[in-house]
């Protein structure tokens, strides 16, 4: 729980907000005073998440939204403006990650298309629908959720390509939107403990040793970075990627462990 109220009077729309990073981000904005519209393809679950925030005294609404459907996206954005009177911040969390086939050449087109359509094109649809409204407030901001998969090889061909594409979209849209008073940035998480890792605790324990800071991320770590980039504290930051990965991409922990200095013994 934070006692900061940077977003008092702001309206924030978040995709993929039913659980994980999206839900934690919604909670962070709500705790900082924002009116939050949580959207997700899973309508009942996102309503449960929003209801939990309302029970805590926050202003939160939920709406089913499929980012692969342009009409659904347009309706969700219009709903945010209709209910709250404006839209100040868009956070794009919705993503799809299909496991790779053992051989690259066996990967089906449908899986590739799905991951890119939801993760990359879905973000494009949301930005396109929201930008005219963000441009009217004088404090508009978009924060996209990328991944270290878009920076280095961690598997998942389609998902990684989509996340890399988000880096390019963030930069090009930032260039366009700056003149309209809207900032666009990217948060690049490493491994985060979400429901995708349920039942894989031993694997997470092994992964933890690869992180210089000694742990994997929590959804709240990413939510804090998103809130910073969306806030007035980042008023002179646009078109950038903030890597929140416990040092994973900066330090080759495996190499440092394998090549030990003679004085280490």
**DSSP code string of 44-88:** HHHHHHHHHHHHTT-EEEEEE--TT-HHHHHHHHHHHHHHHS---
Rounded Cα–Cα distance for residues 25 and 221 (Å): 9
* Residues 6 or more apart whose Cβ sits within 8 Å of residue 243: 148, 151, 188, 190, 249, 250
- Any catalytic annotation for residue 211? no
Beta-bridge partner residues of 138 = none
Rounded Cα–Cα distance for residues 5 and 21 (Å): 20
Per the CB < 8 A criterion, the answer to whether 41 and 120 are in contact is no
Rounded Cα–Cα distance for residues 161 and 180 (Å): 29
* Residues 6 or more apart whose Cβ sits within 8 Å of residue 158: 98, 107, 111, 112, 114, 115, 116
Residue for token digits 């666009």?
Answer: 184
H/E element holding 129? helix 122-134
Rounded Cα–Cα distance for residues 42 and 63 (Å): 9
Per the CB < 8 A criterion, the answer to whether 140 and 89 are in contact is yes
Positions marked catalytic: 159, 163
């Amino acid at each position: 729980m934070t006692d900061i109220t940077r977003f008092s009077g702001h309206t924030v729309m978040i995709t993929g907000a039913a659980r994980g990073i999206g839900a934690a981000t919604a909670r962070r904005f709500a705790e900082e005073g924002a009116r939050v519209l949580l959207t997700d393809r899973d309508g009942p679950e996102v309503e449960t998440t929003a209801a939990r925030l309302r029970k805590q005294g926050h202003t939160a609404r939920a709406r089913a939204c499929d980012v692969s459907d342009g009409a659904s996206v347009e309706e969700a954005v219009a709903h945010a403006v209709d209910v709250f009177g404006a839209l100040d911040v868009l956070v794009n969390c919705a993503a799809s990650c299909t496991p790779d086939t053992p051989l690259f050449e066996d990967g089906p087109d449908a899986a590739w298309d799905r991951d890119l359509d939801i993760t990359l094109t879905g973000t494009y649809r949301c930005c396109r629908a929201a930008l005219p409204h963000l441009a009217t407030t004088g404090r508009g901001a978009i924060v996209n959720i990328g991944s270290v998969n878009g920076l280095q090889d961690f598997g998942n061909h389609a998902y990684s390509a989509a996340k890399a594409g988000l880096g390019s979209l963030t930069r090009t849209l930032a260039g366009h939107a700056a003149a309209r008073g809207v900032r666009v940035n990217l948060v690049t998480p490493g491994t985060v403990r979400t429901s995708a890792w349920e039942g894989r605790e031993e694997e997470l324990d092994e992964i933890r040793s690869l992180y210089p800071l000694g742990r994997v991320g929590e959804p709240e770590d990413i939510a804090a970075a998103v809130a910073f980039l969306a806030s007035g504290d980042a008023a002179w930051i646009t078109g950038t990627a903030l890597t929140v990965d416990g040092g994973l991409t900066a330090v080759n922990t495996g190499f440092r462990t394998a090549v030990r200095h003679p004085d280490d013994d």
